[in-house]
Amino acid sequence: MLLARRLRTAGPPESLSGNKLAVLGHLYRRGPSAAGEVAAAEGQRPQSLTRVFAELEEDGLITRSRDEADRRQAVLALTQAGLDALRRDTARRDAWLAEALGGLSGTERELLRLAARLMERLGD
């Protein structure tokens, strides 16, 4: 939690919020998705992300269209501007993390690699 908070605060004020990053990241990894699918993948209710979806759409980072199979559902898709924003934000966070990791010893970095693999397995 502390590392996630530090990564969020490492960027400039215009950096994407955690929820916006999560939505854009989901759409990047999984492609166009129903709003409910995105919310479920993030462990949230669709109503909790309504404002996030609206802001991303208003900023031109996602599009929202009606699902042809189920007209009650909205399908969200990443735009080129959304992909660019995701890449910029991720690059800033990666740069901060690379600098922070540069201060660790080789043994410490290897220990983190092993811990990351274990945490990934636990998360799956």
One-letter amino acid at 120 equals E
pLDDT of amino acid 69: 75
> What gap in Å lies between CA 43 and CA 19, rounded to an integer?
11
Segment 20-77, tens digit of pLDDT: 999 999 999 999 999 999 999 999 988 889 999 999 999 999 999 987 777 778 899 9
CA distance from start to end of the chain: 18
The H-or-E segment that residue 118 falls in is helix 106-123
Helix (H) or strand (E) holding 94: helix 80-102
Q: Which domains does the chain have, with CATH numbers?
A: 2-123 (1.10.10.10)
pTM exceeding 0.85? no
Specify burial of residue 107 (Cβ count, 10 A radius: 0-12, 13-18, 19+): exposed
* Strands ordered across the beta sheet of 62-66: 33-34, 74-78, 62-66
Task: Between 91 and 69, name the one with better pLDDT.
Answer: 91
